[in-house]
Amino acid sequence: MRFDVILDSFMSAPDMVRLGKLAEEYGLGGVWIANNFNTRDAFVNFVPLAMETGELRMGPIAVSPFELHPQKIAHSLLTLNEIADGRAQIVVGGGGGTAENIGHKPHRMVRAVRECVEVLNQAIAGKPGGYHGEMYQVGWLDVSWARQPAPLIYVGANGPQMLKAASRYAPAIMTSDFTPDRIRWAHEIIDDGLRERDCDPATFPLNNFWAWHVQHSREEAHREARIYLAVRGTIYADYIRDVVDDGEAAIVTAHENAFMKAYMQKSPDIEGVPDEILTKIVDGGVSASPLSEIDREIERMQAFKDAGLTEIALCVYSDPERAIRTIGEHLVPALG
């Protein structure tokens, strides 16, 4: 099982170099940066790290064709891939964040992502030509300068429609905040599509964005995890029953605004939601164990692996250096 880390979007290039090199030393597979409208351009910001490492993969998560034309994505990705000697990676998503901040409303997301990945695949195949999709056109695509091993292209997919579609064309898939049971559910959706194109579901690259809040104490870990629950898919209607029962789910759904308020204020206090429910969400929906109970997280990673996850991207928050060391010293030797 491959372990990646997702670093803070606001991180500077020198900090990324420092942490990326550490991740490489510990045998982690890759580093991701969440694509954010208020941050450095993720492709440019990876360049110093690409030059300072030799094995580590790197790339943004997730870039949407609603914010950047697929041909521009292809050129940025392949230029980073050239600098990194074939170690670039990307998650293509149908959202969301940046698109909204530039006034673009995503629509026909499944189609848009498919066309975007088709453009990327065509570029990687190296055959010059045009692309005439329903949503995106490329007059002439010729990246004959791109001669490195192909970058890894993931489709960011959580819903059944996107998962099913991605299974038919995506080189790799990344889900987010899926529990091990939810990973089994995803496999039920994608496996037929994978087999149709002769991909073995057991080895197909399936990654999962997963929040990592392991700290010295359980209290510290839970406090940090609670702050970020608003940006976990887990608390929303389609997924909340993965970690709590129906009655508890109704309470969570009724208080979604309280989660967002806590996130905006960087507070662990979520008004109106009982502690025992929050504890269940955190225990089931993220990794928030104390260091002394790291075996619990190793068991969770084993459960992910058993469910069919081939890699996991652990989103680290406070003290990313310690998080990388913990992952490198405990998870990688046990499951890597």
**Site track for other proteins across 91-130, x = CB under 8 A:** -------x-xxxx---------------------------
Tell me the closest approach of the beta carbon of residue 132 to other proteins, in angstroms.
8
Enumerate residues 174-233 that contact other proteins by CB under 8 A. none
Residue of 289, 271, 179 lying closest to 225 (CA atoms) = 289
Specify which residues 211 forms β-bridges with.
315
Q: Does 51 interact with other proteins (rule: CB under 8 A)?
A: yes
Helices and strands: H and E segment counts in the chain:
15, 10
> Which tokens sit at 134?
């329903």
Question: What distance in Å separates the CA atoms of residue 292 and residue 296, rounded to the nearest whole number?
Answer: 9
Among 28, 29, 32, 76, binds other proteins (CB under 8 A): 76
By CB under 8 A, residue 263 contacts other proteins: no
Residue among 41 and 181 whose Cβ is closer to other proteins: 41
Measured from the CB atom, is 100 or 283 closer to other proteins?
100
| Beta carbon of residue 268, minimum distance to other proteins (angstroms, whole number) | 24
Of 11 and 277, nearer to other proteins (C-beta) is: 11
Check residue 149 for interaction with other proteins (CB under 8 A).
no
Q: Which of 3, 45, 56, 278 binds other proteins (CB under 8 A)?
A: 45
Q: Which of 1, 13, 189, 260 binds other proteins (CB under 8 A)?
A: 13
Strands (E), 35-88: 57-63
Please tell me whether residue 267 binds other proteins under the rule CB under 8 A: no
41 near other proteins, judged by CB under 8 A: yes
- CA–CA separation, 320 and 335 (whole Å): 20
Peptide bond connecting 96 to the previous residue in cis, omega within 30 degrees of 0:
yes
Q: At what angle do helices 109-125 and 160-167 cross, to 10 degrees?
A: 20
Q: Does position 136 bind other proteins by CB under 8 A? A: yes
> 122, 151, 175: which is closest to 30 by C-alpha?
151
- Please, what is the minimum distance in Å from the beta carbon of residue 309 to other proteins? 32
Nearest distance from residue 47's CB to other proteins, in Å?
A: 4
Pair of tokens at residue 103: 């006034």
For residue 40, state whether it binds other proteins (rule: CB under 8 A).
yes
Q: Where are the alpha helices (DSSP H) in the chain?
A: 13-25, 42-45, 47-52, 70-83, 97-101, 109-125, 160-167, 180-196, 218-227, 246-254, 256-265, 275-285, 294-307, 320-326, 332-335
Question: Which strand (E) or helix (H) includes residue 314?
Answer: strand 311-316
Residues found near other proteins in the complex (CB under 8 A): 10, 12-13, 37-41, 43-45, 47-48, 51, 67-69, 71-72, 75-76, 78-80, 82-83, 98, 100-103, 136-145
